[in-house]
Structure 1
Amino acid sequence: MTIKVFDTHVRTKTSRYLHFDVLIEGNDTEKAQAHARQYLLEKGLTDEDIAQSECRFCHVEPGNPVVAQAISQQGYYILELQGCQED
């Protein structure tokens, strides 16, 4: 499975910074952005909480088994990079 990686940066109105990648099988930017919004909702952040956000295609990589399984089950995988863990 070939994975498309969408680099995502979000700054909240309270200055919290989140950096994560949305990994999907296709090259559908709108789908990646929808998965990013869903992830943020799961983190308790709504559109009203967001001051600035960006989700853009970054690169292609081969999928490892964990990522491939998640994509097969839910359509995407989130790779948390910065600021995503609650303190």
Structure 2
Amino acid sequence: MEVAVWDTYVTKKDGSVMHFDILVPEKIKDKSKIFGYGNEYLKSKEQKGQPITSKECKLCHIETLRKEWEIEIRKNGYIIVEMENCQ
């Protein structure tokens, strides 16, 4: 399976910027669905309400699904990979 990597930067409520990737099956093209996954993640990090749009989240590249991501993507339809300042 190929996954689309959506590179995402969101300004947190404290003004710092968090960087994470939203990985979805390559066939998913609906931006509102992808942004919805990002909003679910932001809510889990107590950042609900912070904007996530095409300005903050852009398709970066397509890559082959890694084994360590497969279970979560098959279960939830996506996975978040934390990059910077996500704690």
TM range (shorter): 0.7 to 0.9
Match of residue 73 from structure 1: 75
| Percent of residue pairs identical | 33
Gaps of 5+ in 2: none
Conservation of the 8 A alpha-carbon contact between 1:35 and 1:76: yes
Match of residue 17 from structure 1: 17
Q: Which structure carries more strand by proportion?
A: 1
Conservation of the 8 A alpha-carbon contact between 2:11 and 2:18: yes
CA deviation digits over 1:14-56, x for unaligned, max 9? 2121000000002332221110000000001111xx3x54111
Q: Normalising by structure 1, what TM-score?
A: 0.85
Q: Normalising by structure 2, what TM-score?
A: 0.85
Give the secondary structure class of the aligned counterpart of 1:14.
Answer: coil
Aligned residues: 82
Match of residue 27 from structure 1: 29
Runs (4+) of structure 1 moved beyond 4 Å?
A: none
